[in-house]
Amino acid sequence: MKTMIEMQKKLLPDLLDVLKQRYEVLRQLHLMQPVGRRSLAAALGMTERILRSEVEFLREQGLIRIETVGMKLSDAGSDLVAEMEPLMKDLFGLTDLEKRLATHLHLKRVIVVPGDSDQSDWVKKEMGRAVARILKSIAQPDQVVAVAGGTTLAAVAEMMTASSSLKETTFVPARGGLGEAVELEANTIASQMATKSGGKYQLLHVPDQLSDEARETLIKEPHIQEVVELVRSARIVVHGIGDAKAMAERRKSSPQLLAHLQQEGAVGEAFGYYFAPDGRIVYYGRSIGLTLEDLAGADNVITVAGGSDKAASIAAVCPAVGGGTLITDEGAARAILPM
């Protein structure tokens, strides 16, 4: 049986936000007391009015006392702050991880879901749900979302739910198919995400492994060119991160390439690029679709990858992809961060 906390997160995630906010007010007040509304609001980074409402509430609950010199915690208030500390750590320990990861990897936003996808497979679904929520929240009319392939992205597609805000969204694959299991192909995932969310989609029916001439020929095809244009115009990109060795084998790469990758110490893969632990690109398997340069033009690059054994890959790829959003799990997050 899951804990009470897990249930609350599912059934009242909105209330947990206000819980956190109120606790933060209490905690900050505890540190600064006695203090006035305005200085406290500034310290907490909230407007005066909103803090005022919280203060009013906390006063009615008898947790803080208001005096002419400022506000102070009442006895009940300081007791509560002390008692709640471990609970809040449980509830929002991940928030802390998120902040540290964001600064460590220079990302705009990091979301960490509890668990480790190496050990429990529902964790991948949780990451998927998180991605779905983000997509919903940043949705804009007539946007294009490019999605990559892989098991993690498949989980994302599975967790998409219908939403009116995604109705005018077009999902496209980021690159041509990988020539592997069809349910992990970007094409499949793009169409599944569109179906589940109520959006539209366009597919890119080209193989991944192509000779240069074949690629040049294909790319001139009008209907392919059209889709490629669409893909490269995507303002939102969702992709996973692969383990370099596993990806190379899945793509049936030549023994030479495998040896090269191993020699260079490649650990992570994304969009056909293979990365060394220091973020250096050690190989690029060209295909049709998004390139790293295109990512710079996207407003939202959403990276989703988890599992403690992918920690090195994530740490290698993220800096190269640029400071977007990372959705990962607790296992990977703790493995990435220096202790």
Binding track over 264-303 against DNA, x by CB under 7 A: ----------------------------------------
Least Cα distance to 107 among 339, 317, 330, 332 occurs for 317
Which among 1, 2, 28, 11 has a CA at the least distance from the CA of 88? 28
Least Å from the CB of residue 60 to DNA: 11
Q: How far is the CB of 294 from a second copy (least distance, A)?
A: 31
Which residues contact a second copy by CB under 8 A?
1-2, 4-5, 7-8, 10-13, 15, 18-19, 22-23, 26, 59-63, 66, 76, 80, 83-84, 87, 129, 133, 136, 159, 161-163
| Residue 48, binding choice from DNA, a second copy, none, Cβ under 5 to 8 Å by partner class | DNA
Per the CB < 8 A criterion, the answer to whether 167 and 141 are in contact is no
296's contact among a second copy, DNA, none, with CB below 5 to 8 A by partner kind, is none
Residues in 160-179 that interact with DNA by CB under 7 A: 162, 164
Cα separation, 294 vs 266, whole angstroms: 22
Minimum CB separation from DNA for residue 172, in Å?
Answer: 23
Task: Count the site residues for DNA by CB under 7 A.
Answer: 20
Nearest residue (CB) to DNA, 162 versus 219: 162
Q: Are 11 and 5 in contact, with CB atoms under 8 Å apart?
A: no
Least separation in angstroms between residue 81's CB and DNA is 17
CA–CA dist 56, 133 (Å, integer):
32
Instruction: Give which of a second copy, DNA, none residue 281 binds (C-beta under 5 to 8 Å, depending on kind).
Output: none
Cβ at position 85, least distance to a second copy in Å? 10
What does the alpha-carbon distance between residue 45 and residue 131 come to, in Å, rounded to a whole number?
A: 27
Residue indicated by tokens 């006035």: 36
Judged by beta carbon, residue 85 or residue 96, the one nearer a second copy is 85
Give residues with Cβ within 8 angstroms of 200, minimum separation 6: 168, 169, 170, 171, 194
Work out what residue 297 binds among a second copy, DNA, none; the CB cut-off runs from 5 to 8 Å by kind.
Answer: none
53's contact among a second copy, DNA, none, with CB below 5 to 8 A by partner kind, is DNA
Q: Residues 69 to 98: which contact DNA by CB under 7 A?
A: 69-71
From CA 322, how far away is CA 306, in angstroms rounded?
Answer: 18
DSSP string computed for 22-36: HHHHHHHHHHH-SB-
Tell me the helices (H) and strands (E) count for the chain, helix number first.
Answer: 15, 13
Give yes or no for residue 37 binding DNA (CB under 7 A).
yes
63, HSE (Cβ side, Cα atoms, 13 Å) = 19
Which one among 10, 15, 31, 38 touches DNA, defined by CB under 7 A?
Answer: 38
Number of Cβ within a 10 Å radius of residue 169: 24
Binding site for DNA (CB under 7 A): 35-39, 47-50, 52-53, 59, 66-71, 162, 164
